[in-house]
Amino acid sequence: MESNILHLDLDTFFVSCERRMDSKLLKRPVLVGGTGNRGVVSACSYETRKFGVRSGMAMKLAKQLCPEAYVIRGNASTYTKFSQEVTDIIKEQVPLFEKASVDEFYADLSGMDKFFGCYKYATELRHRIMKETGLPISFGLSSNKITSKVATNEAKPNNQMKIEFGLEKSFLAPLSVHKIPSIGKKTFQSLKNMGVFKVKTIQDMPEEMMISAFGKNGQVIWRRANGMDRPPLIQYHERKSISTERTFWNTTDMVKLRTTLTAMAENLGFALRNGDKLTSCISIKIRYADFNTYTKQVKIPYTSADHILIPKVLELFEQLYQRRLLLRLVGVRMSDLVSGNYQINLFDDTEEMLNLYGAMDHIRRRFGEKTVMRASSMGAKSIGRFYNAFNGEPPMVLAHRTQ
């Protein structure tokens, strides 16, 4: 059976949300992100892009390039709410879909041609989303996720495109190689150094040559350039979660409990980022010495950032632990996970903060999770043992204020 994979992408999502709330922003240059001098652009309207503005750029530079732009700090809770509105519509209309991020979705429409016509059905779904949410959205439809994603980007802004079965290769051929997903800045530069600028050049190259030049990633790029890569949809489940628990020999040591919870939140935050996941629900569990167990949870804007997760975990614990009796167990759970990256936090952070997370996670992946940690997650005795183990040279410890 011929596959029909739909890719939906909400255009300049954060900007569109702001415009929905304030119509005066329509057709005007808008920047969403950190508003301080060291802030970062999280999203920018199409009107700003002709000045060279792009997402991830320092806000200070963006304002210099486009001084007439309206600058908005952004509100993660608002964007999470609008994302859920779109998710609910797709969930109602499509039996199998993947929520790739807060503003990006895939849906498997295979087999629906017999009853509705996939392109017609996708068009009606897009129009319903726009009508009910007031948000612009684009889509691409083809036989696989990669080609559909590229088609969506070609259709933008606020448009749609279908690539007929068998025409994937010819559609991709004239495009720049940087439009293939998984080709980042370094790979793009390496391809340019080889004289490879268009996708057709990769299509004409032997697969073995790409593997020789780029290893396993070279094979992925070659297959994507030829419209042959068919990664499966990861079905969206709202209740997916990660969690951790710690059992004690009954304690009321608040320093130990807070240190343990901080370490738990830090480890789960790293697990989220390492798996390209975001959470929107945090739960705390405590068990008293008499085995009575209590839980408390809170909904939050999608995030994977320690400096947001840790204070929320500690705040929940303070609200839940009221009896001041001996505790036998504490646990932390993060649920309602979706695939996604750190983008939604950019209006809260500086470039330094983003670079810090990147550096910390790189060290953890290479040398182990406990090679870099916050002082607040270690405790005085642990810091002393680390200090002695390093012959008087202190270990790499990140002192971090969570309040």
Q: Cite the active site residues.
A: 104
Tell me how crowded residue 179 is: count the other CB atoms within 10 A of its CB: 13
* Pairing of the two strands 97-101 and 70-72: unpaired
Burial class (CB in 10 A: 0-12, 13-18, 19+), 20: middle
8 A C-beta contact, residue 47 and residue 30: yes
Is residue 1 within 8 A of residue 110, CB to CB? The reply is: yes
Structure tokens at 310: 């840790």
Nearest to 3 by CA among 113, 94, 100, 140: 113
d(CA 166, CA 172): 12
- Under DSSP, is residue 326 helix (H, G, I), strand (E, B) or coil? coil
Alpha-carbon distance values, 116 to 3, 121, 197 (Å): 15, 6, 39
Instruction: Quote the distance between the C-alpha of residue 330 and its chain's center.
Output: 28
Are residues 64 and 51 in contact, defined by beta-carbon separation less than 8 angstroms?
Answer: no
Angle at 79 between CA 76 and CA 85, to 5 degrees: 145
Q: Residue 41 phi/psi, 5° resolution? A: -75, 120
Phi and psi at 290, nearest 5°, equal -85, 10
Strands 70-72 and 41-44 turn out to be: unpaired
Dist. CA 310–CA 376, nearest whole Å: 10
For the purposes of burial, counting CB atoms within 10 Å of the CB of 368, is it exposed (0-12), middle (13-18) or buried (19 or more)?
exposed
DSSP-derived secondary structure letter, 325: P
Structure tokens at 361: 């996670």
